[in-house]
């Protein structure tokens, strides 16, 4: 899903080449990319989402249930078989992301491309973070010190 999002957003960000850019636009682009790399990529993905997705996938591997396996992406993202807090957070974050997407679609170039460039960088860091935690989990799962937040776990 993350790769598909990058695939869809990257052309819009790359379309900035054809847009006239003032110094304000260039400053906004630098700020957008830096902010999203930190906030979305590092804080959102690397510190929270990526390790939790990997630890929940590991939990599912060790505790398979047919329904959970069939809905594995939803399970790993915390939409099902999660604590009430995790479900509410996952749903709330999804609603917030959808709202941001709808607002960003209304923006003209170069502003939409500026925002999408930051999002692409954040998502790319997210993919790398997930791969990183998959490697960590396969070698030494105890290094991932995050709860899978399944019912009865906390």
User: Is the pLDDT higher at 141 or at 131?
Assistant: 131
**How many folded domains does the chain comprise?**
1
The per-residue pLDDT for 141 is 86
Percent of all residues in the chain with a pLDDT value above 70, rounded to a whole number: 99
Is 81 domain-assigned?
Answer: yes
How far apart are alpha carbons 79 and 87 in whole angstroms? Answer: 5
Residue 24 counted as domain residue: no
Q: Do the domain assignments include residue 23?
A: no
Determine if the pTM surpasses 0.95.
no
State the average pLDDT for the chain.
94
Q: In angstroms, rounded to a whole number, what is the distance separating the alpha carbons of residues 106 and 87?
A: 29
Q: Does residue 83 lie in a domain region?
A: yes
Residue 7 lies in a domain: no
Give domain status of residue 15, yes or no.
Answer: no
Which are the contacts of 97, defined by CB distance < 8 A and separation ≥ 6? none
Q: Find the mean pLDDT for residues 20-45.
A: 96
Q: How many whole angstroms separate alpha carbon 126 and alpha carbon 101?
A: 18
141-145 average pLDDT score: 89
Average pLDDT over residues 74-93: 94
pLDDT at 131: 97
- Confirm whether 2 is domain-assigned: no
Note the pLDDT tens digit of each residue in 47-77.
Answer: 999 999 999 999 999 999 999 999 999 999 9
Q: Is the pLDDT of residue 120 over 90?
A: yes
Q: Is residue 79 classed exposed, middle or buried when 0-12, 13-18 and 19+ CB atoms within 10 A define those classes?
A: middle
Q: How confident is the model at residue 153 (pLDDT cuts 50, 70, 90)?
A: low
How far, CA to CA in Å, does 129 sit from each of 21, 85, 87, 122?
Answer: 32, 23, 22, 10
Which pLDDT score, from 0 to 100, does residue 152 have? 76
Which structural domain, as residue segments, surrounds residue 76?
33-143
pLDDT of residue 102: 93
pLDDT over threshold 60, residue 154: no
């Amino acid at each position: 899903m993350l790769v598909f999002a990058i695939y869809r957003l990257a052309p819009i960000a790359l379309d900035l080449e054809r847009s006239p850019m003032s110094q304000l636009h260039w400053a906004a682009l630098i700020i957008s990319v830096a902010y999203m790399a930190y906030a979305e990529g590092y804080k959102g993905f690397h510190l929270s989402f990526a390790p939790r997705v990997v630890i929940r996938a590991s939990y599912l591997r060790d505790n398979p249930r047919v329904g959970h396996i069939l809905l594995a992406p939803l399970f790993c993202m915390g939409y099902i078989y999660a604590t009430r807090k995790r479900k509410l957070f996952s749903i709330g974050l999804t609603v917030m992301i959808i709202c941001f997407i709808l607002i960003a679609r209304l923006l003209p170039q170069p502003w939409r491309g500026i925002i999408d460039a930051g999002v692409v960088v954040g998502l790319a860091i997210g993919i790398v973070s997930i791969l990183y935690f998959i490697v960590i989990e396969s070698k030494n799962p105890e290094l991932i010190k995050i709860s899978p937040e399944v019912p009865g776990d906390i």
